[in-house]
Amino acid sequence: MHRIQTWNNKDEVMREGTQKPPFGAGFNKQQVEQAETLELWGSSFTDTGSDFCEFRLLRKGGIIARKRVAGY
């Protein structure tokens, strides 16, 4: 898996974090309000199974929520 993108700006984290699948993870507003950062990770060719994107909400460097969306 590899990191594709990171958002640190609070407005961007809210916009991208609440966007509905398949273009976003669809976190609820309360989850996103707690986050400082949103990261987008994607599967690699060497990963087993189907392709996916994983959205991670972080606070103080720790993951507070994650969601996977099928596809890449």
pLDDT tens readout for residues 46-69: 878 888 999 999 999 899 999 999
The arrangement of strands across the sheet holding 2-7 comes to: 2-7, 37-42, 52-59, 62-70
pTM of the model: 0.89
Q: Which domain holds residue 15?
A: 2-70
Give the model confidence (pLDDT) of 19-48 as tens digits: 998 888 999 999 999 999 999 999 988 878
Instruction: Enumerate residues 6+ apart whose C-beta is below 8 A from 50.
Output: 43, 70
Total structural domains within the chain: 1
Share of the chain above pLDDT 70, in %: 99
